Structure 1
């Protein structure tokens, strides 16, 4: 199946819709990686961006199976609904799933829990270990340039050194959608097929393609408590603290990650259409509104990128 699968695109290939153009670009990137690299892998968390990325990979290679395994960096504090979705989808499509466990690194003494209980910053070591152990040379990620300023300057093909670090001086121009995957032994390339998508694009594509998502992306009642202007889920990682009161509210999640630092937003959007209306009216990015780990410092994501996570 080619990227142009919709009747209007077939009838007028010279006038692709916005979503068709984004889809076509992403499918091209997947096929380019398949031709240039020996051992690619798709980072898959069960979040909406990785779900859309997997959907595009399935489109890129159908009727053949996706020729790459999936890799999930499991913090041990994931939303149960997301883990259930991850396992169901991998089984449904017959995909290989590798899990890099933060908990295993803590249990073995290779990592220590943070005082604040947040595990997102601890994902770097398990990720880099998995990349090295499986000799992955291309790692697909669902990062988008509209999410955060450290992501805004990222290339589609992002060269990483033998320690997984990002050096802006070594990044290459990408004129006319020409991607240079050259790398030395021990290095690898992070690949971002959704770089040019926005949160609204992602949701409009989910609506058009009728893509199933974990239920927490839609409004539901949940016990939460307020901290730093966000509704966080209570749990063993350090909440609620003294003076923080648990409430039962109608909320949904714009992004999913470690439960200790991923905030919910007040919402009554129970359908894709309502979510799209809500996002179109929002003036805050999803990470800016709901991710406490990005608020640790002005350069939190930039630091993690240089260390080898993003």
Structure 2
């Protein structure tokens, strides 16, 4: 039975012989043994939540050492929230892993630490800076470190012997992610080959893998950005303050507002301004842009996202503009 089937099975069905009769004029259901009762339907968010929790539980049941990629960004926050609901009242039965570029927003790192402490989850951190210091990686000429996360990530997976890695990727973010399966097989080198992925007909997930291989699991793959924000609003999920409108020093570059900071200085020809902005996605400071916005609460963000014609990555991530296939190239190398 799929997650959606399981969820729908909880909805009262008005069928002959069930002891209920339907009043065609009112649409209400009358129980032969008592007063009228109303049938109900699960919302889209309920169904998406049920599917995601089903995926999380399936992975935990099938794999020995899962881990969740947790950056403090909204998508990974939602996946961690779903995991907490999946195993409540117990604790989340796996650690979270953050690949720290060293160029993260301080507000996001503070939120990351507060969240894992609140939930009692073990945090594993792989630091890009360590790899630069010992010569395993070199700084890029463009200053961004997001593409440098692949090697630390794969090493952390190997060191932790993690056979399943949860991520918050969604199909609506990018055309490379649109190809992705919910359970994505990675080879002995951590690489993704779109020709080596299994069909997932009727939401049946195949997690078989040989020693050295692992899978990436994406519980919110079928969600949209608007679904994520509506769910955050409904569940009142805490987020880093960067996601809400605030005033800060920024400068314009490549059609985006970049934050002024140690890792993202303005060039001589770029004018620094104070603007009211917010972030739709959170990543490396040197490649993540803000958007002008006065959306200071969840209800306003839901309205704003509903009107947007660009995905959050398309609007605010410079690392996705390195080449037309930037995301797919990183996936093939073993990144998210």
Q: Which bracket does the TM-score occupy, shorter chain normalised?
A: over 0.9
2:92 to 59, 66, 87: 66
Query: What does residue range 280-291 of structure 1 map to in structure 2 within 5 Å?
Result: 280-291=306-317
State whether residues 9 and 17 of structure 1, in contact with CA within 8 Å, keep that contact through their aligned partners in structure 2.
Answer: no
State whether residues 9 and 20 of structure 1, in contact with CA within 8 Å, keep that contact through their aligned partners in structure 2.
Answer: no
SS at match of 1:91: helix
SS at match of 1:123: helix
SS at match of 2:215: strand
Counterparts of 1:183 and 1:126, CA distance in 2: 22
**Does structure 1 residue 185 correspond to structure 2 residue 211?**
yes
1:48 to 70, 74, 86: 74
**Once structures 1 and 2 are overlaid, which stretch shifts more, 116-125 or 230-239?**
230-239
1:102 to 128, 152, 156: 128
User: For each residue in 1:50-103, what CA deviation from the matched residue of structure 2 results, as whole angstroms up to 9, or x when unmatched?
Assistant: 000000000001111111100000001111111001000101111100000001
Q: Partner residue of 2:48?
A: 22
| C-alpha deviation, 1:235, in angstroms | 2.9
Q: Partner residue of 1:258?
A: 284
User: For each residue in 1:253-310, what CA deviation from the matched residue of structure 2 results, as whole angstroms up to 9, or x when unmatched?
Assistant: 0000000000000000001000011111110110000000000100000000000001
Counterparts of 1:69 and 1:255, CA distance in 2: 23
The count of aligned residue pairs is 305
1:202 to 215, 219, 228: 228
Q: Partner residue of 2:114?
A: 88
State whether residues 9 and 15 of structure 1, in contact with CA within 8 Å, keep that contact through their aligned partners in structure 2.
Answer: no
Counterparts of 1:220 and 1:11, CA distance in 2: 43
Counterparts of 2:9 and 2:263, CA distance in 1: 49
Q: Partner residue of 2:28?
A: none
User: For each residue in 1:217-272, what CA deviation from the matched residue of structure 2 results, as whole angstroms up to 9, or x when unmatched?
Assistant: 00000111110000011234353112011111000000000000000000000010
From the CA coordinates, give the structure whose radius of gyration is larger: 2
Query: What does residue range 222-233 of structure 1 map to in structure 2 within 5 Å?
Result: 222-233=248-259
Q: Partner residue of 1:174?
A: 200
TM-score (norm 1): 0.96
Counterparts of 2:162 and 2:225, CA distance in 1: 28
2:137 to 111, 114, 120: 111
Structure 2 gap ranges (5+): 14-39
Counterparts of 2:261 and 2:295, CA distance in 1: 25
Counterparts of 1:308 and 1:83, CA distance in 2: 24
Q: Partner residue of 1:123?
A: 149
State whether residues 225 and 244 of structure 1, in contact with CA within 8 Å, keep that contact through their aligned partners in structure 2.
Answer: yes
**Does structure 1 residue 37 correspond to structure 2 residue 99?**
no
| C-alpha deviation, 1:9, in angstroms | 10
SS at match of 1:173: coil
SS at match of 2:327: helix
User: For each residue in 1:102-147, what CA deviation from the matched residue of structure 2 results, as whole angstroms up to 9, or x when unmatched?
Assistant: 0111111110011111000000010000001111000000000000
